[in-house]
Amino acid sequence: MTLEETQAAFHALATRAADLPAAAESFLVGSPAFPAAERIGIYADMYLWRLTDALREDYPKTAALLGDERLLALAKAYAREHPSDQPDLGHFGRHLPAFLRRLPAPERADLADLADLEWARSEVFFEKPATSIARDALAALGPDAFLDARLELIPALRILVLDHDAATVWRHLEDGDPLESAVVCPTAVAVWRAGFEVFHARIDPDEARAIEIARAGEPLRHVCSTFHDREDPAGAASAVLASWVDEGWIADASSAG
CA 256 to CA 254: how far, in whole Å? Answer: 6
Gap between the Cα atoms of 39 and 17, Å rounded:
16
Report the alpha-carbon distance of residue 10 to residue 238 in Å, rounded: 62
- Select 1 or 20, whichever has its Cβ closest to another protein: 1
Interaction between residue 14 and another protein (CB under 8 A): yes
59 makes contact with another protein (CB under 8 A)? no
Provide the b/e sequence for 206-219 (b: ≥16 CB within 10 Å).
bbbbbbbbbeeeeb
Specify burial of residue 145 (Cβ count, 10 A radius: 0-12, 13-18, 19+): middle
Using the rule CB under 8 A, is 158 a contact of another protein? Answer: no
> Does 29 help bind another protein (rule: CB under 8 A)?
yes
What is the closest distance, in whole angstroms, from the C-beta atom of residue 251 to another protein in the complex? 13
Amino acid at 166: A
List binders of another protein among 102-131 (CB under 8 A). 125-129
Interaction of residue 47 with another protein, rule CB under 8 A: yes
**Could you give the strand order of the β-sheet that contains 157-164, starting from the edge strand earlier in sequence?**
157-164, 184-194, 197-203
- Site map 224..253 versus another protein, x via CB under 8 A: ------------------------------
User: Is 10 one of the binding residues for another protein (CB under 8 A)?
Assistant: yes
The reply to whether 81 sits near another protein by the rule CB under 8 A is: no
Residue 36 binding another protein, by CB under 8 A: yes
The 8-class DSSP code of residue 148 comes to T
- Is 173 in contact with 64 (CB distance < 8 Å)? yes
d(CA 237, CA 117): 26
Q: CA-CA distance, 164 to 111, in Å (whole number)?
A: 9
* Residue 89 binds another protein, judged by CB under 8 A: yes
Q: Is 48 or 141 the residue whose CB approaches another protein more closely?
A: 48
- Candidate segments 30-38, 70-78, 113-121, 239-247, binder of another protein by CB under 8 A: 30-38
Residue numbers at the binding site for another protein (CB under 8 A): 1-4, 6-8, 10-11, 14-15, 26-30, 33-34, 36, 39-40, 42-43, 46-47, 50-51, 54, 83-90, 92, 125-129, 155-156, 193, 196
